[in-house]
């Protein structure tokens, strides 16, 4: 009797989109390398192509972790200023709004460098499993704000005045706040998001906020689900 196929895990779905995304990379491209577990799978898949096919590319990492992994995988790296133009950025997300393809990112605390690299790429592609696609942003996921440590109390006060529910992100197991690759703190905030682009600007207008995790721009989302073919969401 044929064996019943076991259900795919979340990691299987992430791998499926990571493999699909690695096929988008062509010779001589400069690639923005996202952070997080799905992006890590993409980096590994891309590393295999670099070694096996002698693919000639450069990567621009969005975090220290992405930089370390990409170098271990044999992907040549350049800094953003050396890169000049980024052809394609591939990154993960915590939530994708189905109708608009707006995102919440930064669950891993890297959204500032991610946004700089993702937004300046000619094409920005997001990789998620289907559990991350939601009808409206921010109902179950807080928006992370990267904040200058010097200004954390004034940012908290402003967020409270805006009737939001902010909390300083602390590191599991260790005492004290999470510190980003840029030496800043993270404040997570539950806030109503009617229009992503408007809220993105509003949160960045708070003095002391370096960048927030609402991404109102993205070109394409690859969604891993149980069907064989990866679903592609485009605007
Ligand atoms: C990064 O990784 C973040 O912006 C986002 O928070 C996270 C998604 O992580 P994962 O792929 O591990 O679910 O892209």
Q: Is the CB of 146 under 6 A from ligand 1?
A: no
For residue 2, being part of any structural domain is answered with no
User: Same domain for 208 and 171?
Assistant: yes
The Cα 27–Cα 194 span in angstroms is 40
Long-range contacts of residues 2-5, Cβ cutoff 8 Å, at least 24 apart: none
User: Same domain for 158 and 126?
Assistant: no
For residue 5, being part of any structural domain is answered with no
92 is in an annotated binding site: yes
For residue 3, being part of any structural domain is answered with no
Q: Which of 9, 10, 35 to mutate to test the pocket of ligand 1 (most atoms within 8 A of CB)?
A: 35
Q: Is the CB of 94 under 6 A from ligand 1?
A: yes
For residue 17, being part of any structural domain is answered with yes
What is the phi/psi pair of residue 188, to 5°? Answer: -95, 135
CATH number at residue 43: 3.40.50.1360
User: Same domain for 109 and 150?
Assistant: no
Say what the ipTM of the complex is. 0.96
Give the 3-state secondary structure of residue 137. Answer: coil
pLDDT range class, residue 226, cuts 50, 70, 90: confident
Give the 3-state secondary structure of residue 120. Answer: helix
Give the 3-state secondary structure of residue 173. Answer: coil
User: Same domain for 223 and 195?
Assistant: no
CATH number at residue 161: 3.30.70.260
User: Same domain for 54 and 170?
Assistant: no
User: Same domain for 208 and 220?
Assistant: no
For residue 17, which of 110, 114, 131, 137 has the smallest C-alpha distance?
A: 131
User: Same domain for 159 and 122?
Assistant: no
User: Same domain for 37 and 117?
Assistant: yes
For residue 4, being part of any structural domain is answered with no
Residue among 114, 146, 200, 211 flagged as catalytic: 114
pLDDT range class, residue 172, cuts 50, 70, 90: confident
User: Same domain for 62 and 165?
Assistant: no
Q: Which of 38, 90, 141, 224 to mutate to test the pocket of ligand 1 (most atoms within 8 A of CB)?
A: 38
User: Same domain for 176 and 121?
Assistant: no
Q: Which of residues 173 and 67 earns the better pLDDT score?
A: 67
For residue 44, being part of any structural domain is answered with yes
User: Same domain for 121 and 225?
Assistant: yes
User: Same domain for 122 and 224?
Assistant: yes
pLDDT digits (tens, 9 = 90+) for 132-150: 999 999 999 999 999 999 9
Question: In terms of pTM, does the model score above 0.80?
Answer: yes
| Domain carrying residue 152 | 143-212
Count of the separate structural domains present in the chain = 2
Clarify whether 54 is annotated catalytic: no
The predicted structure's pLDDT at residue 2: 59
Give the 3-state secondary structure of residue 94. Answer: coil
In the chain, the N- to C-terminal Cα span, in Å, equals: 45
For residue 77, being part of any structural domain is answered with yes
For residue 1, being part of any structural domain is answered with no
């Amino acid at each position: 009797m044929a064996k019943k196929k076991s259900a795919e895990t979340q990691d299987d779905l992430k791998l499926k989109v990571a493999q699909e995304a690695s096929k988008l990379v062509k010779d001589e491209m400069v690639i923005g390398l996202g952070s997080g577990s799905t992006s890590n799978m993409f980096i590994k898949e891309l590393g295999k192509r670099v070694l096996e096919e002698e693919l000639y590319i450069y990567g621009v990492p969005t975090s220290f972790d992405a930089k370390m992994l990409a170098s271990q995988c044999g992907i040549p790296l350049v800094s953003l200023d050396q890169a000049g133009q980024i052809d394609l950025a591939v990154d993960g997300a915590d939530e994708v709004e189905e109708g608009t393809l707006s995102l919440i990112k930064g669950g891993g605390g890297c959204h500032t460098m991610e946004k700089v690299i993702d937004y300046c790429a000619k094409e920005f592609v997001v990789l998620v499993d289907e559990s991350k696609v939601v009808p409206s942003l921010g109902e179950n996921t807080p928006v992370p704000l990267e904040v200058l440590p010097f200004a954390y109390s004034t940012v908290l006060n402003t967020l409270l005045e805006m009737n939001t529910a902010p909390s300083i992100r602390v590191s599991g197991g260790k005492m004290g706040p999470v510190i980003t690759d840029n030496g800043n703190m993270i404040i997570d905030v539950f806030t109503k998001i009617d229009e992503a682009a408007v809220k993105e600007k509003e949160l960045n207008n708070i003095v002391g906020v370096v960048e927030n995790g609402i991404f109102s721009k993205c070109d394409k989302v690859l969604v891993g689900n149980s069907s064989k073919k990866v679903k592609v969401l485009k605007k």
